[in-house]
A and B are shown apart, each in its own frame.
Chain A
Amino acid sequence: MSTTPRHLQLSLRQRDARTALLFVAPAVIIILLVTLQPILTTLYLSFFESQLGRFSVNVFRGLGNYIDMLKSAVFWSTIRRTLHFTLFSVGLELVLGIAVAQLIASHPPGWKFLRTSLIIPWAVPTIVTGMMWGWIYNADYGALNGLLSQLGLIKEYVPWLIRPTRAMNLAILADVWHTVPFVALILQAALATLPQEMEEAAAVDGANAWQRFWLIRIPLLRPAIMVAMVIRTVEAFRVFDIIYVMTGGGPAFGTVTISYLTYLETFKYGHIGNGSALSFLISIFSFALALIYIRLLYRQEDSH
């Protein structure tokens, strides 16, 4: 029998909670220092017109930077471009991902090799991907030109990256190459765990392969598809590295995405205030997307 008064005994739950707080403490401290503090500083800077190196000459602007950004034509055209990138990139990844996942799940000869090879584009570092595809698209000596002209599809070498929209689409292609494996492998794993009974019953009822695919398998895959889509959408919206390496935002701003615009404002034009405001606009949007993901996840949990 315990001798301490009842009201001083810590319940198991409270002791547990204390342990939990101790467990999360190291992580929280690190995150406070390297993530939260910079975020708060960026937030702080977004309310001023600041010039790097001259912090003593700050002009408080309240929401001025945010309003300026929301009023600027460059901002909206950049949003348009970013959405274009995101939609096409994620869309292509989804379609190709489902197709490849299904292909693997059908176990054709060599499917194991196929699944293993898929990892390679994903594992190649982004900078190497950007550089490699930049070289493939090279106007004078690139492999794309070489291939197409040897196949007789083009008569002269094409300067691929010279037109803004085309450059954007080619950047999308490079990005898709790099990230389709991610989607394909997730969906393939999900396919492997699908219950067979529904499809078998449908087959007995006379449904053909296509019908089984569209009406049963895809709906069952919905949770996995949703998850892959949201993860990739948030990442695609924030794309930066591959643009920096492959096109540097050009030509004619054609591949400037919202993260790249933040880079331009902060580093090239020196408007930290604007850059910080942009960052927060991006964060808010990404966070909203992420919340959708959480909602979906919990909804999925409930429905199981």
Chain B
Amino acid sequence: MSRKKTLTRALLFLLTIPVLLFVFMPVAWLVISSISTKAELLSIPIHWIPQHPTLSNYTNILTPGTATSEVAKSFKVVMRNSFLVATSVTALCLLVGSLAAYALARIRFPFRKGLLLGILGTRMIPEVSLVIPLYIIATRLKLYDTPWILIATYLSFALPFAIWIIASFFESVPVEMEEAALMDGCSRLRILFNIVIPISAPGLVSTAIFIFLMSWDEFFYALIFTSTIAAKTMPVAIAEFVGRYSTDITAMMAGGVFAALPPVLLSLIFQRYIVTGMTAGAVKG
């Protein structure tokens, strides 16, 4: 009996290998490419392990010399912009979203159903379509090429999403506690901040991470609404390594690793919360 069990366990372990390979191989190649020289990257047969590994692709981006492309020189600023926009959007979504989510989840009021449907509906339109109208607003308000316009436009897809997810977390808070507090004459605001939010804190952390990753990831709006390092974000900077005729492939690889590090690290550190977040609304109770 235990032999069969050992066999099963061995088989299962073997099965994990292709999955791990599938997950890691592309990323490993990205990292390997980022520490290779251009000559090695363009060699046939392929150099799986670089013979002359180098960190120069990274140093070019972090401490650019005169030979580095203009794009690489501004990378640090660009990362900072990405952080600024992502954290602002996250903070706003959490604050405004929690308020709205609580009302939608717990309080019965007129238009509640319509509002829920409406909020869901706004997510349906493809982002590509909203660019021109948003651009018009941006230029009217003189917000073009500022982090503010990115924050505002990201809210268009992040806020509905945040409300939806936070609402489902709030719904799983035992309603009796709130009812008891209501009986005692607590205001809704107090209930929200003293009871509901503390209990669903892990869910809120999940949401925060999701929103942060969504903002960090966003590419097309950033491309259109920014043009200088005053507001440019990381995905746009990476795309710029592609020139008119030639691509700065090693810089792009190093840039890609940089761009991927914050979200990947964040996700690994808070993985428990991410899983919780993913299942919010998917599996009740």
Contact = CB atoms under 8 A, between A and B. Distances in A.
B77 interface: no
B217 A117 contact: no
A259 B259 contact: no
Contacts of A132: 26-27, 29-30, 256
A193 interface: yes
B114 to A, nearest CB: 11
B238 A190 contact: no
A42 B43 CA distance: 49
Given A31-B119, A146-B46, A20 B126 contact: no
A103 B12 contact: yes
B12 A287 contact: no
What is the predominant secondary structure among interface residues of chain B facing chain A? helix
Interface of A is mostly: helix
Contacts of A157: 44
A228 interface: yes
Contacts of A259: 126, 128
Interface stretch (B56-64, B68-76, B130-138): B130-138
Interface in B229-277: 234-235, 238-239, 249, 252-253, 256, 259-260, 263-264, 266-268, 271, 274-276
B283 A36 contact: no
Q: How large is the interface on B (under 10, 10 to 19, 20 to 34, 35 or more residues)?
A: 35 or more
A16 B186 CA distance: 12
A128 B279 CA distance: 25
B23 A108 contact: no
B163 interface: yes
Interface stretch (A62-70, A72-80, A164-172, A239-247): A239-247
Contacts of B24: 117, 120
Interface of B: 9, 12-13, 15-16, 19-20, 22-24, 26-27, 29-30, 33, 41-46, 48, 96-97, 99-100, 102-104, 107-110, 112, 115, 117, 119-134, 136-137, 152-153, 155-157, 159-160, 163, 182, 187-189, 213, 216-217, 219-220, 234-235, 238-239, 249, 252-253, 256, 259-260, 263-264, 266-268, 271, 274-276, 278-279, 281-285
